[in-house]
Each structure stands twice: as structure tokens, then as C-alpha cells.
């Protein structure tokens, strides 16, 4: 954790990519404390905002691919064994969280790899059920890229905005505050989307009947 703290204190495109790679595997690295501060520094002229989003998304793709490949070739027994191990617990992982991601994937189908990138807890695990289901890799990668890109764009927008109102010494405190609002907002949008889909399906079924 001290190693990760050091990286967070010296953000550049390489550390952004690496930390987002870790975040998309099973290492508990909160993306809001990587992309948002990086965008904050971009607003100050130290980084490029578009490259921040690009490298964060590439890192997420690589990390998600690692999870996907492990799940695809080694299957559920190894995933559960690791989740229940001491190393899994150190990564704040357990079998219940993995099962939760599987339920989300089974409920929403292949698009779960896109929408799941916006959901807390599910975000960094959704690639595991995709691998277990042996989803087509290129489709998985496209959805992962879109989902991760959207999430990182939101975080980058937040960082850019915070630069206009918050001094750097208060940044982490404000990120925590605003990140909670973001999670509620995004979950609300997802619920509205699911509701619209259900209503549309019911209307179509009624029309066909």
C-alpha cells in the first residue's frame, strides 16, 4: 500500500496506466483517487486531460483482460479459491463479491461489461464472469473500453471542475464527497435505463399479443 501511495503522489501517464491496470484486476485502487487528481493537475497545465483518459482506459483494458484470461482458462474453482484465500482478503475480495458480479453479468448479458464498469464493487470484477462465460474477447474489449472510457471521462470532468474551486490540500476530501454523489447519480441513471428497457419490453410484448 505504501508503494501505491507513492505512485499516487507522483502521477504521470505511466503511473496512471499502471494504477488503472491494478484497479481493473483485484487490487483495491480507487479510480477516483487516480483519474480525478490527474485531471486536476491537467487543468493546472501539468498533464493533458485527453491523455489522462486514454492511458487510464488502456490500463483498465489491460487489467480487465488479465481477469478475463484467468477466468476463461482456469475457471470458477481457481477464482473462488483465490477469493477465499488470505491474498484475496488482502485485496478486499471474497466469494460473495465474485458471485455478485456473476449475477450482474447473467442478468444483463454481454452489455454488463459496459454498464458494470460504472457500478461500484462490480466495476473491477465484471471481467471475471465474462471470462467464465467465454464471451467473445473482442466484443468484451470493445464494451470494456467504452464503459471504462465513460467512467474515466466523468472522473476527469470532476477533477477539472475541482481545480476551479478547491485548493490542492483539500482535493482528496472533496473527491471523497463528490465520488459518493457520482455513484448515486450513476446508479440512478442505470436504474432509469433498466426501467425504460423493462417498460419497452412489456409494451412490445403487449403489442405482439
pLDDT, tens digit (0-9, with 9 covering 90-100), for 49-72: 999 999 999 999 999 999 999 989
The mean per-residue pLDDT over the stretch 9-21 comes to 89
Return the pLDDT at 195: 65
pLDDT, tens digit (0-9, with 9 covering 90-100), for 100-109: 888 878 777 7
Who contacts 175 (Cβ-Cβ below 8 Å, separation ≥6)?
A: 32, 33, 36, 37, 158, 162
**Contact predicate 127/114, CB 8 Å:** no
Angle at 133 between CA 189 and CA 191, to 5 degrees: 10
SS3 category, 15: helix
pLDDT at 4 over 60: no
State the cell numbers at 171.
482535493
Q: Give pTM, 2 decimals.
A: 0.80
Instruction: Indicate the range of 39-43, 83-87, 110-114 predicted with least confidence.
Output: 110-114
In the block, cell 477465499 appears at 84
Amino acid at each position: 500500500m505504501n508503494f501505491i501511495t507513492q505512485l499516487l503522489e507522483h502521477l504521470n501517464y505511466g503511473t496512471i496506466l499502471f494504477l488503472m491496470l491494478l484497479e481493473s484486476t483485484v487490487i483495491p485502487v480507487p479510480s477516483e483517487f487516480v483519474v480525478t487528481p490527474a485531471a486536476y493537475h491537467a487543468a493546472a497545465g501539468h498533464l493533458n486531460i485527453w491523455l489522462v483518459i486514454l492511458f487510464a482506459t488502456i490500463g483498465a483494458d489491460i487489467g480487465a483482460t488479465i481477469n478475463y484470461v484467468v477466468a476463461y482458462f482456469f475457471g470458477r474453482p481457481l477464482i473462488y479459491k483465490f477469493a477465499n484465500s488470505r491474498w484475496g482478503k488482502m485485496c478486499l475480495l471474497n466469494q460473495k463479491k465474485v458471485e455478485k458480479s456473476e449475477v450482474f453479468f447473467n442478468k444483463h448479458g454481454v452489455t454488463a461489461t459496459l454498464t458494470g464498469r460504472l457500478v461500484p464493487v462490480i466495476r473491477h470484477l465484471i471481467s471475471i464472469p465474462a471470462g467464465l462465460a467465454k464471451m467473445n474477447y473482442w466484443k468484451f474489449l470493445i464494451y470494456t473500453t467504452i464503459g471504462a472510457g465513460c467512467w474515466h471521462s466523468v472522473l476527469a470532468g470532476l477533477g477539472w471542475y475541482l481545480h476551479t474551486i478547491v485548493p490542492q490540500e483539500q482535493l482528496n476530501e472533496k473527491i471523497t464527497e463528490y465520488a459518493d454523489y457520482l455513484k448515486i447519480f450513476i446508479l440512478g441513471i442505470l436504474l432509469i435505463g433498466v426501467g425504460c428497457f423493462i417498460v419497452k419490453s412489456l409494451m412490445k410484448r403487449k403489442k405482439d399479443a
